């Protein structure tokens, strides 16, 4: 078990822009993520609403979207729906203080990447975001058509 003062270092691929869009009305989420992911390679931007997120996603192409479950003008599903319309959609992590099996199942079944619990745990955030980044970089193999 890690103490609160131990640093967790993840090994992220060395090339490319590592960008995260945080969609959360809570300043403490932004502060906490920036503290945890202080690695120079991470570029974190923040939006507070679904409307702001959709505008930002039209301009920028983050690798990962970390989205609060409930937003002032909607919820994570609204952001997820917009992400799905993008040419190179980022992976979506949903954040909630009250995550249960139903939320995890819903996120995964709709194509989201994972759920992060709040308050953020340094080891868990580093592990999940690192895996999401590696997953985002991995080329998706094309399957050959199956004939009966």
Which domains, ranges and CATH numbers included, belong to the chain? 18-137 (3.40.50.2300)
Per-residue pLDDT band for 61 (boundaries 50, 70, 90) equals confident
Measured distance CA(67)–CA(69) in Å, rounded: 6
Match 């599903």 to its residue by tokens. 77
pLDDT band (50, 70, 90) for residue 146: low
Q: Over pLDDT 70: what percentage of the chain?
A: 81
Sign of CA dihedral 39, 63, 119, 9: negative
**Cα dihedral 91, 10, 121, 102 sign:** positive
Closest-CA residue to 75 (of 61, 92, 87, 62): 92
Tell me the pLDDT band of 141, cut-offs 50, 70 and 90: low
52 contact partners, CB below 8 Å, separation of at least 6: 23
Q: Residue 138: which pLDDT band, with cuts at 50, 70 and 90?
A: confident
Express each pLDDT in 6-49 by its tens digit.
Answer: 333 344 444 456 899 999 999 999 999 999 998 767 899 999 99
> Could you report the per-residue pLDDT of 94-129, keeping only the tens digit for each?
999 988 899 999 999 999 999 999 999 999 999 999
């Amino acid at each position: 078990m890690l103490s609160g003062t131990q640093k967790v270092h993840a090994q992220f691929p060395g090339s490319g822009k590592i960008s995260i869009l945080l969609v959360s009305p809570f300043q403490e989420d932004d502060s906490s993520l920036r503290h945890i992911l202080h690695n120079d390679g991470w570029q974190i931007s923040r939006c507070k609403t679904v409307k702001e997120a959709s505008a930002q996603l039209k301009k920028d192409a983050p690798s990962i979207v970390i989205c609060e479950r409930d937003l002032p003008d909607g919820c994570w599903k609204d952001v997820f729906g917009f992400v799905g319309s993008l040419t190179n959609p980022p992976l979506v992590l949903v954040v909630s203080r009250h995550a249960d099996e139903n939320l995890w199942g819903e996120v995964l079944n709709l194509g989201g990447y994972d759920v992060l619990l709040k308050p953020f745990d340094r080891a868990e955030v580093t592990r999940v975001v690192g895996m999401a980044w590696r997953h985002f970089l991995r080329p998706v193999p094309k399957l050959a058509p199956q004939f009966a």
